[in-house]
Amino acid sequence: MRRFLHSRAFFYAIATTLCVGIGVAWLCDSEWRFSPAVPVLYGGTAVILLLAGGLALSHVRNHDPLPRAHILWRVLVFSLVCNIACNLYFFSNLMHAPFSLFLAAACICWLWVILGRLSMIICCPFFILQLAQIAGSLQYGARINSLVIAETLEASEEEIFGYLSASNMLIALASVAGGILLSWTLVRILRSQRNRLQLVNAGLLFALIAGLFSLTIPPVRRDPNYYWPVYEVYALIQSWSEALFHNQATIKQAQSLPSPAEQPSSLHTLHGGEGVVLVVHIGESVRADRMGINGYSRDTTPFLSSCTNLINFPNCISAACDTCQAQIAILTDARRNIYEKDPAMQPHTGSVLDLFAAHGFRVCSFFGKRNATHLKYDMVVRILTRCAAERHHSPGSPWTAVPLMAESLRNQPAGQNTVLFINNEGSHTPFFHYDHQSAPFLPAGSSFENPAAHAQSVNNAYDNTVHYTDEFVRRVTRILQGRPWLYLYISDHGEYLGHDGIWGRAALGESGRDYHSTTGCRVGMFFLYSPEFEKVHPHFADALRILQSHTSMTVAQEHIFHTILGIFDLQTPWHNPSLDLSSTKAQPYSGPQPQSSR
């Protein structure tokens, strides 16, 4: 009996029983029956013909058609172990499990046929990534996708250290050890297998059984994610190429935009020498509903709440959950759906800052530490601010940029009109930038080890960063006292801290939710101004009054370019009054948005 259990006859009996059983179940159960698509028919026919050819060739060469039974069993057991350890979807739908089991076994055989022992070069990193993905999915609800890869490539030191907890380091080491162990086991299993044709036939047999199992899966329950490992390899390659392509495409898009200053323009409200300061502050990851001025239960914005010169827009929709796409939407005439490449929504001209530079404003840029690197996020914003006469990078805390601004203003000629462009880390993960010595919301933790299990401390840290931004704005406006100034703040995108059932923007794609269907697309936006600014020109007072009348309107980042032009009455062919919130012709945002904000 033991001899029979280790023979090919027993393996053939099991394989035949599976094939017959699947066929009978398929024929008898109308719910499982379906009309296979042409590719399925072609693929199944090709596998059968190739298997028949392989068996015939083995017969001609007087070789056994398949490896020994113990090799076949070991391959199957190894495939089972790999699916249990590395397949994120193996237990989520038992109807797909047998298909994944035999498909993985077929891939193992074919990979060894092609590479032999060199299979470790592919298998080892693949297993490491899959083991890490399992752990990441359990903690963060996200698999490795293009957004995860893009954010990893762009991660700052603070973000990296935020995820380098002791347990995450152990998980990483365990993933590496597990990947090496699985690869070594594969070599141990197949190192004695010399006949490659036998493995080809075994792979075809496994593929045929997998194909038969696929017939038992109703079409409505099919998901390519279950076709492990074939689809997983494709998804990883696709995610990597998409992340790199998207990076390069976004940079090229920003570089290709012509300057709006190339077209004739005029500025009648200012003639130079007024000393007006326009502050354009693009914040980071600030949700509108986490700001005290928008009704949040915590007073995260004490300074703004005390301002009588505040024009707040509580319902502002961001263009994308990607920083660069949002920056393009804010500073250019782009509208929404930039990523989908809708021609009607694409930018046609460059940064609005170019127009101010062309009319005598000295543009000074103040970036965070992250923007001192040469990655996509800082490259795009540097392209959009290339008219800047000065560039400064905060070495650490964003507060350190305030003295740099004060010094820059002191060193300018009297009456110089100025644009201060600010883009700092703000409330970006891991929510590290706040005053840790006197944080208002405790306990606060910036460690992103299983954030859902530490929801209170992580949310406290996030609220602290919003409070910190409020204090940052207060410090900037204090150095502007006595000058005519206008301060615009708008965040690039929101963040997810359990909102909409999502933790982190990387998990957005896994949730099946579109960005604009979630509350994370509603971001902070407000204007502040000094009494001196209103008095510089009558148009300014009228524009601010109209702007105030539109605060209950649903607005978006697409309004910013035109609103800044309208407030200053900077006349250019690029100005669109329907998107100018300081114009009586302004129209509300009509694009996709959460239902609660309509």
How do residues 270-279 score in pLDDT, each as one tens digit? Answer: 998 999 999 9
Residue 258: DSSP 8-state? P
- Containing structural domain, residue 118: 38-242
Phi, psi of 290 (to 5 degrees): -110, 15
- Domain-embedded: residue 259: no
Structure tokens at 407: 């010094």
Asked if the model's pLDDT at residue 105 lies above 50, the reply is yes
| pLDDT at residue number 496 | 87
Residue 349 lies in a domain: yes
Label residue 2 by pLDDT band (50, 70, 90): very low
Q: What is the pLDDT of residues 211-270, one digit of tens each?
A: 777 776 666 566 777 788 888 888 888 878 777 777 777 888 889 999 999 999 999 999
Same domain, yes or no: 55 and 161: yes
Same domain flag for 471 and 342: yes
Half-sphere exposure of 291 (CA within 13 A, CB side): 29
Three-class DSSP category at 391: strand
- In this structure, the answer to whether residues 310 and 238 fall within a common structural domain is no
Q: Give the whole-angstrom CA distance, residue 415 versus residue 570.
A: 19
Our measurement of the distance from residue 128's CA atom to the centroid of its chain's CA atoms, rounded to an integer in Å, reads: 22
Rounded-to-integer distance, Cα 23 and Cα 25, Å:
6
| Same-domain check for residues 183 and 89 | yes
* 455-479 and 401-410 helices, crossing angle to 10°: 10
Give the pLDDT score at 172.
Answer: 85
The verdict on residue 262 lying in a domain is no
* DSSP letter, residue 460: H
In this prediction the pTM is 0.77
Residue of 305, 66, 112 lying closest to 208 (CA atoms) = 66
What pLDDT is recorded for position 234? Answer: 84
Last residue in a domain, options 242, 263, 291: 242
CATH of the domain at 560: 3.40.720.10
Whether 12 is in a domain gets the answer no
One domain for residues 168 and 230: yes
Domain count, the chain: 2
Query: 324 and 221, same structural domain?
Result: no
Same-domain pairing of 204 and 296: no
Domain assignment present for 428: yes
Same domain, 235 and 292: no
Q: Residue 515's CB: how many other CB atoms inside 10 A?
A: 20
Q: Are residues 295 and 233 in the same domain?
A: no
Whether the per-residue pLDDT at 467 is higher than 90: the answer is yes
Is 254 within the bounds of a domain? no
Q: Are 233 and 320 within one domain?
A: no
391 within a domain of the structure (yes/no): yes
Nearest one of 133, 96, 127 to 111, comparing CA atoms: 127
pLDDT of residue 37: 46
Euclidean distance between CA atoms 576 and 335, whole angstroms? 12
Of 219, 242, 265, which closes a domain? 242
**pLDDT > 50? residue 328:** yes
pLDDT score for 63: 76
Is the four-CA dihedral 211, 216, 220, 225 of positive or negative sign? negative
Pick the residue with more confidence: 312 or 194? 312
Task: Tell me: do 366 and 421 sit in the same domain.
Answer: yes
On whether residue 139 sits in a domain, the answer given is yes
Same domain? 288 vs 235: no
Q: What's the rounded mean pLDDT across residues 184-210? A: 87
